[in-house]
Chain A
Amino acid sequence: MGGLASLVARLQIDWETLLTVNLPALIVVLIAVPLVLFLYIMGTELIVRRFPKRAQPTVRPWIWVGPAILLVSVILVYPMIGTIIRSFFDRGGSNFIGLGNYIHMLSDGGVLIVLRNNLLWLLLYPAMVLIFGLALAMLADRVSYEKPVKSLIFMPMAISFVAMSIIWQFVYYYRPPDVPQIGILNAIVVNLFHAQPITWIQDTRFNNYALILIAVWGATGFAMVILSAALKGIPGELLEAARVDGANELVVFRRIILPLMMPTIVVVGTTMVIFALKAFDIVYVMTAGNYNTDILARRMYAELYAAQNHANSSTLAVILLIAVIPVLIFNVQQFRAVEARR
């Protein structure tokens, strides 16, 4: 593999080329990319037609799934295997040291805090996004101004995490007690509750929750849109029939709405768990992992680029993968349950 130093050296970034506005390239790309995709499926179909009639149904599916399988194999499966193997070797990459890296990492106090924070993200983020998303989908469904409400809630989805962090730096802003607060949260704390302003980002009692809240604020729109679509798919007669039979709203929700929406909730929840593991940008921008807010993805990035330690970053990646296995099993079970009902 060679050292990361040489890798980074060979990656030498050519800013001159990259930053020159190259409009012809953009136009060519905009025409060529869809054209290539279209020609692929048309061209292969013409080739398949030359096959004997009986062979065609055998060959054809592989042409349609082929590109996806190839890309997923190269981009997800192959690196996954490579990283797992790499995590059993020492920093130089030549000596097999078994679980040495894992023992080393798991006895590192910093890594333990990282794991605790990731657990916090994994538990709070999907739960809060689902609760807010479901509540907003259900509430907005019953008012006539549903569309503007949903648009406003969805808006943060269109903002990058970096811009989100800037927005929330305004919310969490801290100034000493003797000057007027400019962050709205501290203004409320000082003026309404007559308390001392709080350093939301540095105070280890609050900062992890403060960061998770930013992510929840950003992703609730996504959950709401998908859950709302599923909610609208529930036949109105079903709900009406239950209400006519005397079921109250709570029973209707628990016995009809929730079970029917379960597959969608699982999809959204899984996506949120993945987001929680992928969480990087907000911590990277807000605290750079300081004040006990570091998480796996940011620590991995630091090991890879700042410390240039392949062994450590691979080990952290595998720890991340192990953390995901229960979610994976749950998903496969859910998928099978849905398939069985079909």
Chain B
Amino acid sequence: MSTAVTAAPPRQEGAVTARAPRTSPLSAAVSKAGLHVAVIALTLLWVTPTLGLLISSFRPGGAFTTSGWWTAFSPPFNFTLDSYRAVLGESDLLPSFFNSFMITIPGTIIPAAIAAFAAYAFAWMKFPGRNWIFLALVGLLAVPLQLTFIPLLTLAVHLGLTSGNTLPFGLNAGFIAIWLAHTGYGLPFSIYLLANFFRVLPQDLFESAEIDGASPVTVFFRLVLPLSVPAIASLIIFQFLWVWNDLLVALIFIGGTPEVIKG
């Protein structure tokens, strides 16, 4: 190790993403082999459950009830697309997908936009109680959603935001209740994430924009958003997945018949 002091720091940027090797050649080779084994083993472990389902989906109907999916790798190789034909031919798959998108897309756009507005204010504007409100939001991160269902359901009924009512364009009012619920549930985390990201943007950028007479709206759309694409993209992906994968909120606000929800 001490020999490295005299040499220039190793700057091998061979692999695109991997960091350069750090120890002596021999122990590096040994630990490198162990590293590959560990990474590949963990990945295989993670993929196996899904792989089983994937293989089963290509096996003839009923085969999965008599033999394990791994037996499909030995002769006779019986693979078929029958299951896919049957499922895609079902008529109620389309409405389920429609409802999923109807809930998920606004359930992602609304919280992401409102959180970005709020995070911008928390990060770059001064107003009384700013830190306290932000702390309260961090606290609300931890509030269990189950706490809110009964009062919100009553409120939704009072406001007529239930799946029995139809709004203009044939829009089901129950969707509005779900969008707003998902927005409220998603906001604390979204604001937390985005405010922390916006805060570390370089300050002089904002100062020069202000000197040039740019309004906060311009700064937000021209400066903050383009600079925060990674953070906003990951937020949108997470929020989309949470809403898409959510069963409980949809069950509570539209009711418990499986046709409404995907899955």
Contact = CB atoms under 8 A, between A and B. Distances in A.
Size category of the binding interface on chain A: 35 or more
Nearest to B147: A317
Nearest to B21: A142
B188 to A, nearest CB: 7
Interface in B24-64: 35-36, 38-39, 42-43, 46-50, 52-53, 56, 64
A328 interface: yes
Contacts, number: 343
Contacts of A336: 135
A195 interface: no
A13 B122 CA distance: 41
Contact of A313 (B5, B16, B150): B150
Interface in B176-220: 180-181, 183-185, 187-189, 191-193, 199, 215-217, 220
Contacts of A253: none
A152 B94 CA distance: 28
Given A68-B118, A280-B248, A11 B157 contact: yes
Given A14-B164, A149-B39, A318 B247 contact: no
Interface string A213-230: 000010010100110010
A328 B142 contact: yes
Nearest to A1: B154
A29 B110 CA distance: 11
Contacts of B4: 243-244
A288 interface: no
B68 to A, nearest CB: 5
Q: Which of B2, B15, B22 neighbours the largest number of chain A CB atoms within 10 Å of its CB?
A: B22
A42 B216 CA distance: 10
Contact of A335 (B135, B184, B216): B135
B181 A274 contact: no
Given A72-B184, A170-B53, A327-B142, A7 B154 contact: yes
A318 B155 CA distance: 20
A163 B1 contact: no
Nearest to B112: A37
Contacts of A153: 42-43, 46
B96 to A, nearest CB: 8
A113 interface: no
A78 B146 CA distance: 13
Interface stretch (A57-65, A96-104, A201-209): A57-65
B223 interface: no
Nearest to B96: A19
A20 interface: yes
Interface string A1-28: 1000001001111110111111111101
A141 B65 CA distance: 40
Given A15-B259, A274-B141, A277-B144, A29 B102 contact: yes
Contacts of B95: 19-21
A308 B199 CA distance: 46
Given A62-B127, A144-B15, A79 B152 contact: yes
A139 B245 contact: no
B124 to A, nearest CB: 9
Interface in B5-28: 5, 9-10, 15-19, 22-23
B66 interface: yes
A24 B166 CA distance: 14
Interface string B220-251: 10000000001000100010010011011001
Nearest to A141: B19
Contacts of B262: 160
Given A37-B114, A155-B50, A278-B144, A24 B170 contact: yes
A251 interface: no
B74 interface: no
A90 interface: no
A157 B238 CA distance: 9
7 A-B pairs with the lowest CB-CB distances in the bound complex, closest first: A75-B184, A162-B263, A79-B148, A68-B118, A64-B121, A79-B151, A61-B127
Given A10-B162, A171-B52, A222-B238, 4 more contacts: A14-B164, A170-B64, A274-B142, A324-B142
Interface of B: 1-2, 4-5, 9-10, 15-19, 22-23, 35-36, 38-39, 42-43, 46-50, 52-53, 56, 64-70, 92, 94-95, 98-99, 101-102, 105-106, 109-110, 113-115, 117-118, 120-122, 125-127, 130-131, 133-135, 137-155, 157, 162-164, 166, 169-172, 174-175, 180-181, 183-185, 187-189, 191-193, 199, 215-217, 220, 230, 234, 238, 241, 244-245, 247-248, 251-252, 254-257, 259-260, 262-263
